[in-house]
Amino acid sequence: MQLDSGHGKIADFIRANQAKVLDRWGELVQAAVGSRISAQEIHRELEEIFDLVVRSMSDADESARGELRAVLGELSRSRARNGFNPTETAMGVFSLKDAVYELVADAPDLAGEYVDFARMVDDLGLLTFETYTAAREQIIADQAEFMLELSTPVVRLWDGIIAVPLVGTLDSARTQLVMEKMLNALVDTGAEHAVLDITGVPTVDTEVAQHLLKAVMAVRLLGAECTISGIRPQIAHTIVSLGIEFGDIATKATLADALAYALGRSGLRVGPA
C-alpha cells in the first residue's frame, strides 16, 4: 500500500466522487452480508474506512495508515465474533475496487493509477482476512479452555465419598486434568472413595479405557478406592468386544449403584426410615 505522491490523481478523483463510490460500495457490501447489518450501519463503517483510505493515499500520512489498519482489524474481529464467513468479511474491502473501477472505466487516464490502488486494496483485504482468521482461532482456543473447565467438576456425594461426572470425550490432556482434580479433592477432603461416572462419555475405546485405568491406579496409590459407574449397555458391549479388562476395579451400572456400594464400603447402609 505504498503510494508515492505521484498517485494523488486517483485519490482526488475518488474524493471528488465520494458520494457515488460510497453508495455503490455500500450496495455491494450489503449484497454480500445480506440483511444482518443495517444499511445505515454499513454506510457508517464504510464512510470511516473510506475517509482513512483516501487520507492514507493522498499524502504520506503514516498515522492514517496505522489508523486504517486498526479500524479494519477491529471490524474483521467483530465480523468473526458475530459469525460472518471469511468471504463476507473480505468482500467488505474488496468491493471497494469494484465500486471505484466502475467510475474509473469512464476515465482511461486513471487506469495506471488504478492498478496501484487495486494493489493497496488487496493488501487491506489480506489484512482483514488475517485478522479474521486470528480472531476465529482465538475464539476456538477460548472455547476449548472453557470446555475443559466446565467439564470437570468434582462433587461431594457423602462424607468421604466424592464423584467425578465425566462429560465428553476423554483425551490425555483431559484425563490428566480430571485425575489431578480428583486426587487433589481426595487429599483435601480425606475422602476414601471416589466414583468416576462416565455416563457422559460418548465412546470408550482402548485409549479411553487406558486413561480410566490410570486414574483408578492413581486413586489407589493415594489409599482410596475408585469405582467406575455409568457404563451404558452399548459401551459395555464395546468394552467386551475390544477385550478391555477392568480387572478387579469395581464397575457399576449407575451412579446410584456406585453410591450405594461406596456407602456399604464405608460401613453405612441406606434403608427405609
Partner 1 sequence: MERVPILRIGKTLLVTIQIDLQDDIVMQLQEDLAEQIVATSATGVIIDITAVEIVDSFIGRMLSAVGSMSRLFDAETVIVGMRPAVAITLVELGLSLPGVRTAINAEKGLRLLNGRT
CA 6 – CA 127 distance, rounded (Å): 25
Site for partner 1 contains 247 (CB under 8 A)? no
Site for partner 1 contains 218 (CB under 8 A)? yes
> Of 79-87, 94-102, 220-228, 232-240, which part binds partner 1 (CB under 8 A)?
220-228
Query: From residue 191, how far is each of 157, 183, 184, 219, 222 by CA, in Å?
Result: 10, 10, 10, 11, 10
Site for partner 1 contains 179 (CB under 8 A)? yes
- Residue with Cβ nearer partner 1 (151 or 210): 210
Task: Tell which residue, 9, 180, 229, has the closest CA to residue 100.
Answer: 9
Tell me the longest C-alpha to C-alpha distance in the chain: 97
Site for partner 1 contains 176 (CB under 8 A)? yes
Site for partner 1 contains 143 (CB under 8 A)? no
CA 35 – CA 26 distance, rounded (Å): 12
Site for partner 1 contains 214 (CB under 8 A)? yes
> Of 111-119, 126-134, 181-189, 259-267, which part binds partner 1 (CB under 8 A)?
181-189
Alpha-helix residue ranges (DSSP H) falling in the chain = 8-16, 18-33, 39-58, 62-81, 86-104, 111-150, 172-189, 206-222, 233-242, 255-265
> Of 39-47, 52-60, 105-113, 215-223, which part binds partner 1 (CB under 8 A)?
215-223
Site for partner 1 contains 113 (CB under 8 A)? no
| DSSP assigned state of 267 | T
Residues lying near partner 1 in the complex (CB under 8 A) are found at: 176, 179-180, 183-184, 186-187, 190-192, 214, 217-224
